[in-house]
Amino acid sequence: MLKKRMLLLAYLLLSTCELTFAQKSWKDIVSVEDICEYYPGIMKRMLSQFDLDQPGLEKVKTACADSNIVDACKYLLSYYRHSNTAPDLRRSSPVKTDKTDAESDTILNNVFVIQNVRGQVAYGSDGHRDWYYKGPNNDREWAWLSNRHSQLYTVFNTYFETGNPKYAKYIDLFLRDFIIKSMPYPAVKSSESIWRGLEVAARAKYWTRIFYGLINDPYLSPATGLLMLSSLPDHAHYNRNFHGSNNWLTMEISALATVAAYFPEYKASGEWMSYAIETMTNSMKEQVYKDGVQTELSSHYHQVALSNFTLFKEICDKAGRQLPAYYNETLEKMSGYLAHVVRPSGYRPLNNDGDRGSDREFILAAAKKFDRPGWEYIATNGVSGTQPADGPSYCYPWAGHFVSRSGFDADAQWSFFDIGPWGSGHQHNDKLHISVAAYGRDLLVDAGRFAYTGAVADKFGKYARGSQGHNILLIDHKGQSAGPTLVSQPLSDSSFKITPAFDYASGSFSHFADITGAATHTRAVLYMRGQFWIVIDRIVSDRPRTIEELWHWHPDNKVILEGLITKTANKRGNLAVIPLSRQKFDITLVKGQETPEIQGWYSPEYNKYEPNTVAVYQTKIGNAATLVWLLLPSEGETPKIKAKLLSENEEEIKIAVKQKGEKLELTIPFMGSNKVISDK
């Protein structure tokens, strides 16, 4: 251990001295001779990372034995230019033109758009960019993500699309700037802007593609190529020794495998790949439930984890390393989840932290890969593929995600009901939340995630994570506290039921933040396929309470209040929320409220937000009460409907609904799917 520390100290001192006493500007260090003269310690350390006994590196080994680092570096670059390593990443230089691209030209001015926020990175007195710049909102997330170098990959693709040399020259100078400024590698776990796991992982993936894509291009200087080869082992070392867990692990370990597979010449590549396979496969078992849902229970981060699990398999396939059978089986289950919960519009559910992104193309790719024409049918709204034999509703009993649909067409009615655990990360206090869409329109929505850090997070973060931003209820103005992060068994069959005529699911929650005494909220949802939803909220308390039921509407809806009914007045795609129980309600429509507390805001993407309407139904109850709601979707104006609560007791309610001349009598239990009765 002492020897390792002394070697690290010597490396740090050597690197610092090189940076301190170099007389030539780093911008002018472009040749092999330059980099070896001004950073000899870095180049010697870089060469020591390679297994010089591998075929093709004989000249490098001989030059190193003669202490001729200039020739050794030249031979190393020659090896990468002419070897058959990474044939899938190599590109031919494009035909030179003066074509331009507006997005990349903006990046060339060091103006980066990070999570929908535009900021310009300034230069310091040493000529280097300020890699610690936190953007215009002083948001450390902005600094982190700008150091992942996705913007550089955009410029990389533009170069090959246009053939304009200015884009390749920018890449060359950008990388030389960053790598020199980031030295020395600290070799410790960090959360600062440059050396944090997710940023290290992203750079390793982008750089690998850039290195092989430009290795034979005249605009990638030899000095920059060598600096990349010197820094990639540091990136691999960080991801090998300081990686996180959950979706962080999938990103970091897939990056480790990327370096190991595409640079097998590094001495440690074999060990890196073996470690990556063991770690990734074990993590898959730990962070993916048996029903195929990632344990953070965010549809957004489920897709992130799946993308990295998939990338890892592709890397292993190219490297000739076999993964256990269950790995591919789990990839298929995870893909199936995305297909089954997707909205008719192709967008994923907005739950826990995440963005409302489209999963349509991902589902179509998975349908082809796993030969699942039913998924293609879902993603294309029946335009292509084969209608699934199951569905259209699905329950994932480990995740507690219950999705109801009228069908797979673009106008289908759809709901997402959360009766699962809190989640292992990125959690919101939103158990029993329900989202609703119909006729191509989002109607009832989750508020979204807004931001993690910075001014937006300071203002909206508590609201985003709290119950106030969800379609659930508050007790004495208080929302839920954290629930269990994980479960050891799935929902019982009594918690849900799917039949051709209806879907039923129920769940319960008792942990409310800072309330006096005890209270339990049980919610049951009955969906009569193609017709309507019945939502039942049963509250049992040790004392009288004030209850606030919240219904959050997507901003695109025109929301009006007619008596006790809140409904939309859109030209197409509507929903009415109709209270059926006997409580007296004070009803308020809130939109864009900032004081005395945040309410009525919606965030479809990180750092994007706008006001939306929230219907707040407030009432006072005794020790127990049952609130019953009819959610009635319609393509045009809300149709006439007669609905009446016939009876209620401690276990169930009975209601009658008459619509279009048909009368339904429904018995709906608070818990117990086998007790649901539907009679015409």
Per-residue pLDDT at 13 exceeds 60: no
Per-residue pLDDT at 7 exceeds 70: no
Lowest-confidence segment of 15-24, 42-51, 247-256, 518-527 by average pLDDT: 15-24
**Across 199-222, average pLDDT:** 98
pLDDT single digits (tens) 484-531: 999 999 999 999 999 999 999 999 999 999 999 999 999 999 999 999
Beta strands of 397-518 (E only): which ranges?
A: 401-405, 414-418, 434-438, 441-444, 473-475, 496-498, 502-509
pLDDT single digits (tens) 271-319: 999 999 999 999 999 999 999 999 999 999 999 999 999 999 999 999 9
Strand partners for 451: none
Q: What pLDDT, on the 0 to 100 scale, is given for residue 4?
A: 43
From residue 474, alpha-carbon distances to 400, 480, 515, 612 in Å are 21, 8, 10, 19
From residue 517, alpha-carbon distances to 45, 478, 523, 621, 650 in Å are 64, 12, 20, 15, 21
Q: What pLDDT, on the 0 to 100 scale, is given for residue 677?
A: 86
How large a percentage of the chain has pLDDT more than 90? 94
Q: What pLDDT, on the 0 to 100 scale, is given for residue 3?
A: 45
652 Cβ neighbours under 8 A, 6+ residues apart: 667, 668, 669, 670, 675
CA atoms within 13 A on the CB side of 357: 18
Confidence of residue 22 (pLDDT cuts 50, 70, 90): very low
Copy the structure tokens of residue 164.
């304009």
Beta strands of 72-174 (E only): which ranges?
A: 111-114, 117-120
Confidence of residue 680 (pLDDT cuts 50, 70, 90): low
Per-residue pLDDT at 346 exceeds 80: yes
Instruction: Give the full edge-to-edge strand order of the sheet including 586-591.
Output: 473-475, 545-552, 613-621, 586-591
**Across 382-396, average pLDDT:** 97
Q: What pLDDT, on the 0 to 100 scale, is given for residue 523?
A: 98
- Give all domains of the chain, ordered by start, each with its CATH number: 271-283+297-390 (no CATH), 392-638 (2.70.98.70)
Q: Please spell the DSSP secondary structure of 488-533, one letter per residue.
A: SSPPPGGGEEE-SSEEEEEEEE--BTT-SS-EEEEEEEEEETTTEE
- CA-based nearest residue to 175, from 133, 140, 209: 209
pLDDT single digits (tens) 390-412: 999 999 999 999 999 999 999 99
- CA-based nearest residue to 431, from 441, 421, 446, 440: 421
pLDDT single digits (tens) 576-615: 999 999 899 999 999 999 999 999 999 999 999 999 999 9
The span from the CA of 350 to the CA of 298, in Å, is: 8
pTM exceeds 0.85: yes
- CA-based nearest residue to 149, from 118, 184, 114: 114
The span from the CA of 446 to the CA of 554, in Å, is: 9
Cβ neighbours around 461 below 10 Å, total: 17
- Residues 401, 352 contacting (CB under 8 angstroms): no
Cβ neighbours around 43 below 10 Å, total: 25
pLDDT single digits (tens) 530-551: 999 999 999 999 999 999 999 9
Q: What pLDDT, on the 0 to 100 scale, is given for residue 97?
A: 98
Q: What pLDDT, on the 0 to 100 scale, is given for residue 14?
A: 46
Average pLDDT, the chain: 95
Q: Name the helix (H) or strand (E) containing 647.
A: strand 642-648
- CA-based nearest residue to 117, from 555, 454, 611, 610: 454
- Residues 275, 281 contacting (CB under 8 angstroms): no
The span from the CA of 480 to the CA of 148, in Å, is: 35
pLDDT single digits (tens) 97-134: 999 999 999 999 999 999 999 999 999 999 999 999 99
The span from the CA of 467 to the CA of 232, in Å, is: 44
- Residues 281, 310 contacting (CB under 8 angstroms): no
23 Cβ neighbours under 8 A, 6+ residues apart: none
